[in-house]
Every structure is written in C-alpha cells, then in structure tokens.
A and B are shown apart, each in its own frame.
Chain A
Amino acid sequence: MAEIKIQISRFAGKINMSSFIYQIESLFGTLLLLFLVQTCQGAYEIKLLHYLDDSNFSTTRGVVEVHNVDSNDVTFRQHPLNPGDIKQLKALAEKDAFYRMDIVIQQTNKKDIVLSTYAKACSMVESKLHDSFNVYLDHNNNVVGISLLPYENLCSGKHVTDADLAAFRSKMYFYAPENGPVPDTLSYIQKIEREREAREKGGPKDNRSFLQKYWMYLVPLAIFLAVSGAANPDAQSGGGGGGAR
C-alpha cells in the first residue's frame, strides 16, 4: 500500500501509471476471485451419465450436489438400475468391456465442462455398484479431471445376483494440487550464520594440557621403550658377559 502511495505521488510517465493500474487491478482481481470462490462452492452440480453398451448413447445415472469441496461434502441422487440396464451391464462384464461414464460439471458463470472416465465393467459388477469418485481440482478450484474407482479392483469371476445390482453406493473425494517446493534458503542462511559464530567463538578451545592432547602418541612410545628395554637387558647380560671374558 505504501508503494502505491509513493508511486502516485511521484507521477512520472506511462510506466508508473501502468504499474499503478496493475496494483489496482490485482486488488480487484483477488477480491473478485474470493467472491467467486465463495459463490462457486455452493452452486456446484455434477451430472453423471453412463454408457451401458458399446454405442455412443449415454443414459443419466444421477446427479451430485457439491456442498463443500474441503470436507468432501456431497449429496448423491442416483437412479437405481432397472432390470434391462442390469442385463446390459452384465453383458458388458462378460465381454470384458469397459463401463464408461461422462461427467458434466455445471458451474455458475462458467461453461459446462464434460469429462470422461471408465472402469472395467466386471469390477463394477463384482463390487456390487459400490464405487468412489476422485475429483481433481486445479489451484482455482476448477474441476480438471475425475476418476471412477470401483470398490473391487480386480475381477475374480464372482457371481453377483441381480438384486445386488439395483442401487449405486458412491462416495466422492476431492483432491487439490500440492504446492511446489521452493529452495530453502532461509535455513541455509541461518546455518551459515551459526557456523560463522561458532568459528569465531570456538577459537581458543584447545586449552587442554599438552599431555591430555598427545597422550595417544606418548603411551605407545612408552610401551615400546619398556618392551625393548626388557628385551635388551636379557640380550645385554648375555652379550656383556660374553664380551667381558
């Protein structure tokens, strides 16, 4: 804020004017974004459509109302499958084909985004229509992608009755992007400072006595002398005796 005041007071040319405008517009931008985010988080609706055969016709599976992205608070309103649908789904599973889904995201003030995802039809059948959705967001809380994860990942050939395949049980999880790392210069500077201080202070640290510092070298020397002296007298007395004669 102080910067803006200084720049206004200076008033020199186009450059200053444009930077002043930039400051104002960035303020507006952030305020606007906050407002939009607030409103958006409430007015979210995700339409679920699925393909029960290999054609390009999808049928509505249900609607999800998103209340709060941070706490994964959503409400599912999904239609149960009628017997015809169940037969189609089982046919897909037998063919080892894919159960595809189209997801339409209707956000206020933005275009509808259509995303797609899929899972193996046999895993949908074997998990008895128990699945979860991973919704991926970008840094502006727009939906970037969605992923369908049936509860049972691998198809083990279990037999599932039609009664189990009546209703969907779904959960939704939202994932926001992570912040990228920044080089950690602060702790490095602190470390350098600490080392520099330590070096300045810890100069005259070596005030131990001479003996304490070099005992490691003196002791072996003493042992060596003692041992050679013990060896020598025996040799000497023999040699000296011999020499004396």
Chain B
Amino acid sequence: MNYYLSLVTIVISLHVVRSQEVDSTQEKHDIEGRVLAPTHDPSWISSTQVYIRGGQFIGFLKDDGSFTIKNVPTGSYVLEVVNPDYQFDPIRVEINSKGKFRARKVDYIQLSKITPLPYPLRLKTIGKIKYFQTREQWRATDLLFNPMVLMMVAPLFLIMILPRLMNDPETRKEMEQLQSMTKLDVPEMSEMLTSYFGGAPKKPKAAVKPKPSASKLQAGSSSG
C-alpha cells in the first residue's frame, strides 16, 4: 500500500514540476509577419497590435507594418490583429520543437483541416468593420409603391380623371374603337368555353358571322 501511495505522490509531483518547467526550459521563437496597410492614413500603425492569447504576447507594428512577436515558446497559438476600424482574420501559428513554423487558417469546428497560409505572415484586412445599423431612410418611392397606397390612389385617379376624358368626344371615339377591337378576342374565348361545356357548335358560327359585319358596319359608319 505504501509503495503505491509513494508512486501516486511521485506521479502528481512530476506532473506539477513538469507544468512549471515548460515555461523556462522550452525554446523560444520569434513569430514574424507583416500587416498590409488598410488605409493610406498613417495613424493606423499605432492603433494596431497583434495579440496572442488576449495580450499574453503582443507584437507592435513598425512603420512599414511589419511586426515580430518575440520569445514565444513552442506550441499552437491563435494570432489576432486588433484594430478598432478594420477587420482581420485570425491565423493559427504552430511552432514545433525544431523551430519550424506553420501558419494556417483558424477553424474551430474542423480542427484538423489545414488551409496553409504563407509564413512569414501576411495579414490583409477583410474590410472595414460595420458597427452600426444604417437608419432607414425615408424615400418617396416607399410611400408610392406601398400596395395600400396604390390600391387607394389608382382607383381615385381613375374615378377623377376618366369621366373628364370621357366628355371629350374624340377620345371617346378612340376608346370605343379600342373596346370594339378587344371585344373580338374575348367573346370568342367565352363562346369557345360555352361550346365545350354544352350548347351546339352551330350557334357560335352563326353568332360569329354577323359580328364582323356588324363591326364593319360600325367602322363604316364611323369613318363615313
């Protein structure tokens, strides 16, 4: 029993010792990269930093946008570029014990998916961050194309304007012409339908014949 107890304590103490040793004896490396300027205004440099683990390791930018994060032990880190106005994609950088760097896209869902990115890092902005919702502008078209308005205004228009038009004799004649033309097609269709569902085919033919002559008569009378 005692032997096992001592083994347990050794195991636990080794574990504790190991977690402390990691920091001091591991090799430290430098992560290098460059942030491409999102804007021509040079003030972006002092307001941009590259963070690892929310500020445990920070890289500041030089005038040309390049940065170096120094003294990073081996492991896997997510690099985030902090800038109040522009959005950058985070990058996962893995440093193995031999000092080899591998940069890939961050994917928290598919952990083993590797989309390699160039190293030394080249960080380009995806665009300006949209913090605000644009206010809905009031446009005249919104009011006009509102279906309620259309349903009210169009008949209003027809009621008020059409009778005035009707009083004018010439337009009246034109309207009658139009109506006579349209009259041709539709009755045919209705006659066709009625013929399908009942009624002799002869009647439609007889009905069709006098109508063209009637319309011709009318046309003749109007032109004459």
A interface list, Cβ under 8 A from B: 12-16, 18, 21-22, 25, 28-29, 32, 35-36, 108-109, 185, 188-189, 225-226, 228-230, 232-233, 235-236, 239-240, 243-244
Contacts and interface: CB of A to CB of B under 8 A. Distances in A.
A233 B187 contact: yes
Given A28-B11, A32-B4, A32-B7, 13 more contacts: A18-B18, A25-B14, A25-B15, A32-B11, A226-B186, A226-B190, A229-B182, A229-B183, A229-B186, A229-B189, A229-B190, A232-B182, A232-B183
A189 B190 contact: no
Contacts of B149: none
B186 A189 contact: no
Secondary structure class of chain B's binding surface, majority of residues: helix
A188 B179 CA distance: 63
B158 interface: no
Contact of B186 (A18, A21, A22, A225): A225
Contacts of B89: none
Given A236-B179, A239-B179, A16 B97 contact: yes
A68 to B, nearest CB: 22
A109 B5 contact: yes
B4 A36 contact: yes
B137 interface: no
B1 A18 contact: no
A238 to B, nearest CB: 11
A230 B218 contact: no
Nearest to B110: A189
Nearest to B183: A236
B109 A225 contact: no
B179 A12 contact: no
Given A188-B109, A240-B180, A243-B218, A226 B15 contact: no
Interface string B51-86: 000000000000000000000001000000000000
23 contacts: A12-B97, A14-B25, A15-B97, A18-B18, A22-B15, A22-B18, A25-B11, A28-B7, A28-B11, A32-B4, A32-B8, A109-B1, A109-B4, A189-B110, A226-B186, A226-B189, A230-B186, A230-B190, A232-B179, A233-B190, A240-B176, A243-B176, A243-B218
Interface of B: 1, 4-5, 7-8, 11, 14-15, 18, 21-22, 25-27, 74, 97-98, 109-110, 176, 179-180, 182-183, 185-187, 189-190, 193, 214, 217-218, 221-222
B180 to A, nearest CB: 7
Contacts of B4: 32, 35-36, 109
Contacts of B22: 18
A25 B98 CA distance: 24
Contacts of A28: 7, 11
Contacts of B97: 12-13, 15-16
Contacts of A229: 182-183, 185-187, 189-190
Nearest to B186: A229
A18 B16 CA distance: 12
The 10 closest A-B pairs by CB, nearest first: A229-B186, A185-B109, A29-B11, A14-B25, A236-B183, A25-B11, A15-B97, A25-B14, A233-B187, A229-B190
Secondary structure class of chain A's binding surface, majority of residues: helix
Contacts of B98: 12
A15 B27 CA distance: 9
Contacts of A189: 109-110
A7 to B, nearest CB: 10
B216 to A, nearest CB: 12
Contacts of A239: 176, 179
Contacts of A240: 176, 180, 214, 218
Contacts of B26: 15
Contacts of B190: 226, 229-230, 233
A15 B182 contact: no
A29 B13 CA distance: 12
A244 B221 contact: yes
B5 to A, nearest CB: 6
Given A18-B18, A21-B18, A244 B218 contact: yes
A232 B189 CA distance: 13
